[in-house]
Amino acid sequence: MSFLIEARGLAKSFTGGGRRVEVLTELDLSLRQGERLAIIGESGVGKSTLLYIIGTLERPDQGTLHYEGRDVTLWSDEEVSRLRNRTVGFVFQFHHLLPDFSALENVMMPALIARRDRAGAREAARELLETVGLEERLTHRPGELSGGEQQRVAIARSLILEPRVMLADEPTGNLDPATAGEIEDLLCGLNEKRGLGLIVTTHNRQLARRMNRQMELHDGRLAPVAL
Ligand SMILES: Nc1ncnc2c1ncn2[C@@H]1O[C@H](COP(=O)(O)OP(=O)(O)O)[C@@H](O)[C@H]1O
Ligand SMILES: [Mg+2]
């Protein structure tokens, strides 16, 4: 059985204040198409760094990262960003929506940047906002939406280029428990209905338990954990 994503021996360190911090050491991770994986770990342990590397936004110092059997660490930045656009959707703890644009425009934005047809992008964005339950909020700006609604817009935006895997970094980290539960349902529904792979970092045990597998990041490596 082949993997959508397979990382082997990832290492990453940062230098700051004259000190070198080894964040990831000899880290292995794999994800099958349509699988959902939770990564838990204390604050500062390297969860965001790991998602950035898995999502090809950052390069590892060492190790390999295969997408469908191809080692993308050997590719140019341009080749990697093309793969990323086609394959990976990102959802962050802080939604990073553009405050001066409507929900619809925010969701369309990645498609416009990728030079997709504007009418098609608008229709796809409208459908996605309907999918996340915001068909009544198309023209609202982020500041006119609740935290949960903003995160739904961010989820819709992450789907506009039809990724095969979503990397969600503490997607419920800023939400009250009831709203967090709704976002959990939405993510799990996207996985079940669309076969979207999910890698979720979280402190929320309930969310972690709803994934197929749970791993803990500690001392630069991942190990299976039972919650
Ligand atoms: N760009 C960077 N430069 C220097 N240090 C960084 C950088 N990004 C992350 N770090 C450090 O790496 C460690 C892991 O950070 P992070 O991946 O954000 O952890 P987590 O998401 O688990 O809270 C922290 O000690 C952080 O300060
Ligand atoms: Mg983080």
d(CA 227, CA 225): 6
23 close to ligand 1 (CB < 6 Angstrom): yes
Count how many Cα atoms sit within 13 Å of the Cα of residue 35 in the half-sphere of its side chain: 16
Say if residues 34 and 201 touch (Cβ distance below 8 Å).
Answer: no
pLDDT per position as a tens digit, 95-116 = 789 999 999 999 999 999 999 9
d(CA 72, CA 4): 12
CATH number, residue 98 = 3.40.50.300
* pTM score: 0.95
For residue 24, how far is its CA from the centre of ligand 1 (angstroms)? Answer: 10
Angle between helices 147-159 and 103-113 (to 10 degrees): 30
pLDDT per position as a tens digit, 137-163 = 999 999 999 999 999 999 999 999 999
For residue 128, how far is its CA from the centre of ligand 1 (angstroms)? Answer: 32
For residue 201, how far is its CA from the centre of ligand 1 (angstroms)? Answer: 14
58 close to ligand 1 (CB < 6 Angstrom): no
Say if residues 158 and 89 touch (Cβ distance below 8 Å).
Answer: yes
Match 């309907």 to its residue by tokens.
Answer: 130
Domain count of the fold of the chain: 1
Residue ranges of the chain with per-residue pLDDT less than 70: 1
152 close to ligand 1 (CB < 6 Angstrom): no
> Do you know the residue count of the chain?
227
Mean pLDDT over each residue of the chain, to the nearest integer: 96
What would the two tokens of residue 162 be? 């039809």
Q: What pLDDT was estimated at residue 74?
A: 96
User: Which residue range is the domain that position 126 belongs to?
Assistant: 5-224
